[in-house]
Structure 1
Amino acid sequence: MAYSKYHSSVGSNNRPVFAIIGGGIAGSVQAIHLAEKYPSIEIHIFDKNEEILTGTSSMNPGRPTFGFHYRHLQTATFCQDNTVKFTKFLDRIGCPNIFAKAPQNGIYALMKNPAQVLGDSVKPVFNPDEIQPVFEQIRDHAIAKYSNDTDFKKNFGSPDQICRQLKEDEYNHFFNPDLLEGIGACYETAEKTFDTVGICSFLRSYISKIKNITIRSQAKVTCLERVHTAKGAGYRITWDDGRDAITRHEIAQFITLACWERVGIFRKQLGKPEIQPTYNRLKMLAILDIEIPADQLNTIRPIFVASGPFSMISPQRCVEKPDGRILCRCACTLAVKTNVTTVPDDRVLPTDYDNMLQGAVSPGEKIRMATPILEGARQFFACAGSAKLSEVRFGTVRVPYGGGKSVDLHDPASEHHSRDYPGCSNLGDGLFVNEAMKMIYSVYNAEMILDWAHAGLDGIDVGNQMVSQVSKVTLGRTGRALAMISEFIESLKSTRLSTYR
């Protein structure tokens, strides 16, 4: 990837700078939307890694997300709509590898009885009778909204077929016999696993070709300050340049915090306290290699044992070996072991947390930590009997607990089960937060922030000429009319999605 020269103040040719702190999927998708709408501003992405999209975003298992594992309909349908929105966006910009080249169509087991998880009995959080009606409402929502949507049908099939309850003889081959007695209902869904690695690779290449996006790699931002300059109000960004161990500064007129682990710290620096606190949760992802005969490939799917065990296996890719056997790589989670620790986001990360994120953990320690996830998978999934642990990854997810409810996933009152915060907010003064609580929320958040930033950015890009708000006021009627025409033409150039808001 080519990197532009570093600037010390405003952008080249005195163009305004929109800085995005964090180059994961959320920050990258927002940068693309900004570049499309405003080609005459400079967009600078700051990322602490050597390349963007190589942190937590790259470890996302691409879990199929139509919302079937949520008890609250509003949360479930929001997931569904944003899965569709995210897929349409990737289609539009030409991403060739949206879905994993592995068995698809999700399997959801709803537990009615306690399940044995690594020697402990884990009760269902919700009875299947509480969840099954939501499944039907999710399907009704898809029928009402997407029956005439050709893109939906191309990617997911007919809306009226997005979920189907299975009989025991249709699902028993997915699970170990000891688990079957506790299953109250099982569904097949039209969900697909995203090819996260392929998506991240494509987005990196796509962004590198956009002229008004500059990447600041190995750039660890340490301080944000509100400042006033001859150009007006803005923000001074202080960052450590990992390329030459020099501390650098830059001025930006707009900033988005898309950096997860440091959002709370930066808010504190800027005097923007949380109304509802958000936490960093360190998560561990186990990557399993499963080798099976070709005639047993039908035992592998994206499978989720819901409401209690919260164990998932998500196929990433399948390769046929010379002997005809199939080697399938799967991401695997088990809530009681996957969720390592939770830390308030306005505190410096504990040393052990940071070491795991940075990969400063010995291979032996990684294996020790992730082995229980493999053991749990073998308890639940028939395909995991011969599975081998091939890789262990660590990353952060964002979890809001603003209502003061339980942090415990196994508490029915936990905000895990009814999420109404997609991870974007407008803090005022050209400062935004884009946390994208799920990968699929990245397009929704980008569109929201684009709308919020419109008042400040309006008039910046008219016919590729810089027009300040002050000069627009003095244009007169004829000038205002010409400006409106230019803006209208520019809006036609933009292909930003605006549906499903």
Structure 2
Amino acid sequence: MVYSNYPILSGSSDRPVFAIIGGGIAGSVQAIHLAERYPWLDIHIFDKNKKILTGTSNMNPGRPTFGFHYRCLNTATFCQDNTVKFTKFLDRIGCPNIFAKAPQGGIYVLMKGAAQVLDDSINPVFSSDEIEPVFEQIKEHAIKNYSNDNDFKKHFGSPDQICRKLEEVEYKRFLTPGLLKGVGACYETAEKTFDTVGICSFLREYIKGIKNIKIQTEAKVTCLEEIHQSNAARYRITWNDTSTNKSRSEVAQFLTLACWERVGFFRKQLGKPESHPTYNRLKMLAILETEVTADRANTVRPIFAASGPFSMISPQSCIERPDGSMICRLACTLAIRTNVMNVLDDRVLPTDYDNMLEGTNDAEEKMKMAAPILEGAKQFFSCLSNAKLAEVRFGTVRVPFGAGGNVDLHDPASEHHSRDYPGCSDLGDGLFVNEAMKMIYSVYNAEMMLDWAHAELCGMNHKLTHASKAKAATKGALAIINKSTHSLKSATQKSGYETALMSTRLAI
């Protein structure tokens, strides 16, 4: 299925084509940035789903990310800066629903002792004493960089108020008695939960209005090839059109792999494997519904328990009743059950993984898999006492983020706790990777892509200019030869061989 306001181009078009495999947050935001900067560039998005932004991006819980759950300051402030950047981008393009219409203000629970999770006793990876000093540094970063930023203040309030340590009397209403004894500290933050569904819906419609973006949905890309058809052609994209079950292909000069679980597979196809392959992690998200009485309404917040339990609730929507009670819908994770399986990203996905990702597995089976997430989270958060499991979603996340290969979340040395790779890279020859390891990194990655694409386009322009000059020079030489031939014939007729030879020499 193709939808676009721009005519489908034939292969004879002189306009360069920039293909993006994957229409999630990363690919879509990159396409918007490219279209704004280069309105003469044809941007083609290929997505396997019936609509773009309905895969992993749409199952993101929109967890507030100012970086408060990281011990590494660089990772924390990178999160903060990109949360601000992502919010400003959405605001600039007119997104009406940036944040969830639900209680906001993140709560971070820092553990100092073990937490009982289902049948396991989980010790903290880092103690609250190790993490708390970073909170103050995160605040200092915000004060230094955003004190004069009116957009920051509009969305998040004053930078010097982005976090506040709570007294036990304040935080105990959020937590169950069983968790309280292991708490080292608890902070309230100015973070907000993104309205992921609203953002995806808005971007889907926004892109339709951009004339130089063509969207090819129900396109399961099967093969990518580097070709040398001409000076400009580089990549042939072959896909199966699942709406017609026919194979189709197209040529592009530039190509971005923004397809999450198939990035490693396609890199391998193109002869550009990573020396340290990353992993596809199948992640499960439980969607809960709960009724909260009026006197307990303030217990519903975005809450993250770190480090060790790694459980989180993220309110998605709340409907207030006349009596003050609320019906709330929340996204919920629990690390020991949320992370389903890891698969090296340069291998074909196992059938079980693919079925869960595509949503073809049995509904009852999915609910059974997710039930422990609710059971474990109920041991932490008081607002879930009456919660029920409403829906289960599956998506892919990418791990690890470097070369160490340590993907154990509960290991202090794991790369989870110091993420320095945002998910974008330039592989050369007009080939890019854009995975956006977090939703908030999508704008940062898109800006990096613009810089790299600019360099590639300048290089292409130089080659075309050089080729054009060479063509002109050849044309000029042919003109001289033709003129010489004409002179030779004329001179032969008039003065014989000697005169013709002299005329030819003069012409040359």
Q: State if a TM-score over 0.5 links the two structures.
A: yes
Question: Which position in structure 2 is the counterpart of 1:210?
Answer: 210
Q: Distance in 2 between matches of 1:272 and 1:112?
A: 45
1:50-73 deviation per Cα after TM superposition (whole angstroms, max 9, x unaligned):
000000000000000000000000
Kindly provide the amino acid, as one letter, of the partner of residue 28 in structure 1: S
* Residues 8 and 250 in structure 1, CA contact (< 8 A), matched pair in contact too: no
Question: Which position in structure 2 is the counterpart of 1:173?
Answer: 173
Gaps of 5+ in 1: 475-501
Alignment of 1:177-216 (within 5 A): 177-216=177-216
1:183-237 deviation per Cα after TM superposition (whole angstroms, max 9, x unaligned):
0000000000000000000000000000000000000001100101235341000
Please state whether the residue corresponding to 2:227 is helix, strand or coil. Answer: strand
Distance 1:139 1:329, change over 3 A: same
Alignment of 1:36-435 (within 5 A): 36-321=36-321, 324-400=324-400, 402-435=402-435
Q: Distance in 1 between matches of 2:122 and 2:295?
A: 33
Q: Distance in 2 between matches of 1:25 and 1:377?
A: 28
Kindly provide the amino acid, as one letter, of the partner of residue 251 in structure 1: V
Q: Distance in 2 between matches of 1:91 and 1:56?
A: 23
What's the offset of the Cα at 1:276?
3.0
Q: Distance in 2 between matches of 1:303 and 1:231?
A: 54
What's the offset of the Cα at 1:322?
5.6
Q: Distance in 2 between matches of 1:473 and 1:137?
A: 57
Q: Distance in 1 between matches of 2:440 and 2:62?
A: 9
Kindly provide the amino acid, as one letter, of the partner of residue 425 in structure 2: S
1:151-170 deviation per Cα after TM superposition (whole angstroms, max 9, x unaligned):
00000000001011110001
Distance 1:425 1:9, change over 3 A: farther
Please state whether the residue corresponding to 1:135 is helix, strand or coil. Answer: helix
Please state whether the residue corresponding to 1:380 is helix, strand or coil. Answer: coil
Q: Distance in 2 between matches of 1:454 and 1:275?
A: 27
Distance 1:210 1:471, change over 3 A: farther
Distance 1:65 1:232, change over 3 A: same
TM-score normalised to the size of structure 1? 0.91
Please state whether the residue corresponding to 1:444 is helix, strand or coil. Answer: helix
Kindly provide the amino acid, as one letter, of the partner of residue 207 in structure 2: I
Distance 1:193 1:470, change over 3 A: same
What's the offset of the Cα at 1:344?
0.4
Gaps of 5+ in 2: 471-508
Kindly provide the amino acid, as one letter, of the partner of residue 375 in structure 2: E
* Residues 108 and 187 in structure 1, CA contact (< 8 A), matched pair in contact too: yes
Kindly provide the amino acid, as one letter, of the partner of residue 120 in structure 1: D
Deviates more, 1:290-299 or 1:129-138: 290-299
* Residues 257 and 435 in structure 2, CA contact (< 8 A), matched pair in contact too: yes
Q: Distance in 1 between matches of 2:226 and 2:460?
A: 21
1:341-389 deviation per Cα after TM superposition (whole angstroms, max 9, x unaligned):
0100000000000000011111110111000000011100000000010
Distance 1:473 1:112, change over 3 A: farther
Q: Distance in 2 between matches of 1:6 and 1:123?
A: 59
Identity %: 74
Query: Which structure would you say has the larger Rg?
Result: 2
What's the offset of the Cα at 1:295?
3.0
Q: Distance in 2 between matches of 1:472 and 1:446?
A: 32
Distance 1:58 1:83, change over 3 A: same
* Cα RMSD (Å): 2.1
Kindly provide the amino acid, as one letter, of the partner of residue 172 in structure 1: K
Please state whether the residue corresponding to 1:342 is helix, strand or coil. Answer: strand
* Residues 30 and 443 in structure 1, CA contact (< 8 A), matched pair in contact too: yes
Kindly provide the amino acid, as one letter, of the partner of residue 13 in structure 2: N
* Residues 2 and 208 in structure 1, CA contact (< 8 A), matched pair in contact too: no
Kindly provide the amino acid, as one letter, of the partner of residue 374 in structure 1: L
Q: Distance in 2 between matches of 1:401 and 1:198?
A: 28
What's the offset of the Cα at 1:2?
6.6
Question: Which position in structure 1 is the counterpart of 2:477?
Answer: none
1:274-298 deviation per Cα after TM superposition (whole angstroms, max 9, x unaligned):
0332110000000000111233210
Please state whether the residue corresponding to 1:250 is helix, strand or coil. Answer: strand
Deviates more, 1:272-281 or 1:17-26: 272-281
Q: Distance in 1 between matches of 2:389 and 2:175?
A: 19
Question: Which position in structure 2 is the counterpart of 1:24?
Answer: 24
1:411-461 deviation per Cα after TM superposition (whole angstroms, max 9, x unaligned):
000000001000000000000000000000000000001101112224989
* Residues 287 and 390 in structure 1, CA contact (< 8 A), matched pair in contact too: yes
Q: Distance in 2 between matches of 1:98 and 1:472?
A: 48
* Residues 276 and 400 in structure 1, CA contact (< 8 A), matched pair in contact too: no
TM-score normalised to the size of structure 2? 0.89
* Residues 302 and 314 in structure 2, CA contact (< 8 A), matched pair in contact too: yes
Kindly provide the amino acid, as one letter, of the partner of residue 162 in structure 2: I
1:302-341 deviation per Cα after TM superposition (whole angstroms, max 9, x unaligned):
0001000000000001012466431010000000000000
Q: Distance in 1 between matches of 2:442 and 2:273?
A: 23
Q: Distance in 1 between matches of 2:236 and 2:246?
A: 16
